[in-house]
Every structure is written in C-alpha cells, then in structure tokens.
Amino acid sequence: MSHDAEPRPMTSRASGPLTGEAQVPGDKSISHRALILGALSVGETKITGLLEGQDVLDTAAAMRAFGADVVQHGPGNWSVHGVGVGGFSSPEGVIDCGNSGTGVRLIMGAMATTPITATFTGDASLSRRPMARVTDPLSQFGARITAREGGRLPITIEGAADALPIRYRSPVASAQIKSAILLAGLNAPGETVVIEPEQTRDHSERMLAGFGAQVHAETAAEGHVVTLQGQPELRAQAVAVPRDPSSAAFPVAAALIVPGSDILVPGVSRNPTRDGFYVTLLEMGADISFENPREEGGEPVADLRVRHSRLRGVTVPESRAASMIDEFPILSVVASFAEGKTVMNGVSELRVKESDRIDAMARGLEANGVTVEETPDSMTVHGASGVRGGGRAVTHLDHRIAMSFLVLGLAADQPVEIDDAGPITTSFPDFVPLMTRLGARFD
C-alpha cells in the first residue's frame, strides 16, 4: 500500500532510566520469506510471530493477488495455503509493495519464471530505488521486463514460459538480489547459482532448505556461492518467526545511552549473518549479555540484557557491513555518545535504502550538534560525553531514520523533533508504546 497520509511530527525528550522488558516484533526478513515460500508450496503453512508491519502486510496482499489463500487467525498467527512452485496466476490489479524493497524484489523474483504478467509499484521512496540490480538477472532467466527510466518502478514483468537456470555473479552484496534469483530459480530446471562478494543474510537459504529444496552454500575464492536445485516440490511448514535483531537495535541503543537503564529484550534472533551491530557494540564497551541461548524456528535466539554503558568509538571493518546493513543509522546515534570517533567504511549501499541514510543521518545529527564527516561510501561520527539536541530531523519516508532520531532525543540535552513518525509502522508498529512503557518520553 502506498501511503500519502499527512506527515506526523513527533518529539522525544531526555528520559529517566529505561527499565523493564521490550518484546520487539517478529523479524521482517523472515516474515516476508515465510509468506512467499508458503505461497509457493503445497499445503498449509502455519506462521507464528509474523511481523504485522505494513511492509509485510503488503507482501501478504500480494501473495493473495497471485492466488494463495492467506489468512490471519490472531495477532502474529497466520496461515498460507500455497499454489506450488510455478502455480502463481496473473494478478488482476497492480501489485503495490508500498515502502518495501524486500517485498518488491523478492516477489518479482518469485513470479519471473512463471508465464504470467504482473505490474509492480510502490510509494515515493520505493519508486526512487534501483531495481535493475534485480531485473537484470531476472531477464537472464528469460523474463521480459519493462521499467520506468533508470530501471525504477513501476515495472511490468512477463514471466518466462521456459525459464533457463542462471549463474550470476552479483556486483553488490545484497540478500535481496540473492533471494530474488533463488526464488526465480525455483521454477527453472537444473542448477541456479548466485555468487555474492560477501555473505549476506541467509534466511532464504535456511527457509528454502526447511521447505524441502536442495540448497548448498560455500565460501570460495570467487565469493560466497549459493547453489539451488530447481523445480523442487516445496512442502508447507510451520514457521516460528524469531524477534527482529534490527528492531531490537532501537531499545538496545536507547538503554545504552540513557543513564541508569537496565532492560531485557527476549527472544531475539542471533543469526550470525545479522549480528554485526551487536559485535560492534561489544567492541565499543557495551554492557550486553546474551542470556538463555537456544534455537527457535531454525534460528539461534537469545534474551538480551542491556545496561547503560560508557562507550568508546571504533572503526567498523568493511567486511562487517553486510551483517549490520540496517543498523548503521542507529549505530551513528550510539556513536554520538561514545568517546572518540566511530568510522563506518564501505557503506555506499546506505545511499540506496528507504532514503539516502548517510545523508539523512549526517544532516539530522549535525542539526543536533553532532560532528559528522561523510564520503560517498563512509561516515564518521565524532562522539562526545553529551549531545546538545534541539534540532529537527527529516526522515524521508524512512522508518529507521525516524526511530534513530527519536532514540537520540531520549539522551540529548534538548528535545529532538522528527518531521514524520508515520513510516515507523512499516517495521515496528508498536515502537512508541513499547518505548514509552520502558520510560521513554515522546510527544
């Protein structure tokens, strides 16, 4: 769904210690994949803990439009009656993926090797984002694709009738590119191979294997190589979605910078391909313990205990960027309170997320008294013992920019305003009430 609701400004202000338990929502990446693989399998997939953010609701609506029966039974509790690999039918209307790059890119992959036609659109943010990174490999499968100038949405795809498997070396480390290709490879005979320059999040590989596909991954001299055997019969599964480490990052960061805080964030995924933010925080001296480690729904999870900490700046190695790609905005807030500078290298992908996140963070932090340096592919934040605040941040339809600046205001000397809290519903609909229960002050 594309949103043209009136912008909703919001302010956060210096708060007392944050305490209590933060039950963050289900993982966004896994939620999208559970709906899509459920729709491509035979039988009834039961999903618990599904994120009911707008991005995922848009993917649920898209799966219905392609012919799957998708039903909500209760909060987070959903079922999908799939149509099987190659079973999608042409949707009647345009598929509107709203704000979601993951939604649109994975769904384009999932239909590109079935002989049906679909047109995809999205909101102003999604319509600015590059899609050729996915449509180029999808056309190699034999799909015919028409895009707006610059390879942007809206895009129409005529899926390939007799798809050929591909071997594709991705120029960008991107789980969305990898996943779009693997989903397209499901309905091509033989082996589809994706080579990524760095390993990215592996939820698609784990879940495809769980649904019965043959997937093999190895790190070789040429990169991280993932091979899928095409035309499997996917069997419906029960999927328990762990809590999202990228959403947990916001209360975790808030507890680290608000003096006296001590919170528990239970049941968070600790998948090593998503762990870079937590590794970095530990290097900065954060007091975080990972309690009660266990496995849920095929993913490692733990309860995170987080206390206010004195932090020092670090240099984040470029090789870690993929495992924390969504956490750089909130890391730059944490870094503002650390002693010394924090250097983030090799992060040019941040410029093509829901907003140009380097620019959005740099401008918003500067407006609040933080010194930031940027290059096309790096950002350096100069930390201090306190942050002035008192500024306004422009969020550019980007949920993570909105939440990052609301967290900044909880520990800044003066209140911090954002121009629009509306986009937060895409990934973390309960963010404001959850943070308020911990002791955060918003108005």
Q: Show which residues are catalytic.
A: 326
Q: Does 200 bind ligand S3P (CB under 6 A)?
A: yes
CA distance 44 to 38: 7
Closer residue to ligand S3P (CB): 344 or 367: 344
Cα-to-chain-centroid distance, residue 43? 28
Task: Write down how long the chain is.
Answer: 443
Dihedral of CA 169/171/175/180: which sign?
A: negative
CA distance 320 to 333: 18
Cβ atoms within 10 Å, residue 189 = 13
Q: Check whether 414 is labelled as a binding-site residue.
A: no
Q: Does 326 bind ligand S3P (CB under 6 A)?
A: yes
In sequence order, what E strands does 57-131 have? 69-74, 77-81, 95-96, 117-121
The closest of 171, 174, 7, 123 to 355, measured between CA atoms, is 123
Cβ atoms within 10 Å, residue 148 = 12
Fill in the amino acid letter for 158.
E
Q: Check whether 261 is labelled as a binding-site residue.
A: no
**Which among 1-9, 90-98, 161-169, 175-183 is the span making contact with ligand S3P, rule CB under 6 A?**
175-183
Q: Check whether 129 is labelled as a binding-site residue.
A: yes
Q: Does 280 bind ligand S3P (CB under 6 A)?
A: no
Please report how close the Cβ of residue 280 comes to ligand S3P at its closest, in angstroms.
Answer: 16
Contact residue for ligand S3P among 15, 31, 102, 113 (CB under 6 A): 102
- Which residue is at the shortest CB distance from ligand S3P? 29
Q: Does 136 bind ligand S3P (CB under 6 A)?
A: no
Find the binding residues for ligand S3P in span 335-394 (CB under 6 A): 349
Closer residue to ligand S3P (CB): 51 or 333: 51
The closest of 20, 72, 64, 65 to 48, measured between CA atoms, is 72
In sequence order, what E strands does 214-340 have? 215-220, 223-229, 238-240, 262-269, 287-296, 299-307, 315-316
Q: Check whether 341 is labelled as a binding-site residue.
A: no
Number of amino acids touching ligand S3P (CB under 6 A):
11
Which residues on neighbouring strands pair with residue 34, listed in sequence order?
A: none
Contact residue for ligand S3P among 174, 199, 280, 368 (CB under 6 A): 174
Find the binding residues for ligand S3P in span 226-265 (CB under 6 A): none
Cα 420 to Cα 32, 51, 400, distances in angstroms? 25, 22, 12
Contact residue for ligand S3P among 179, 227, 271, 336 (CB under 6 A): 179
Q: Does 192 bind ligand S3P (CB under 6 A)?
A: no
DSSP 349: G
Residue set of the binding site:
28-29, 33, 101, 129, 174, 176, 326, 353, 357, 400
Known binding-site residue numbers for phosphoenolpyruvate: 28, 101, 129, 176, 357, 400
* Binding residues for ligand S3P (CB under 6 A): 29, 102, 174-176, 179, 200-201, 325-326, 349
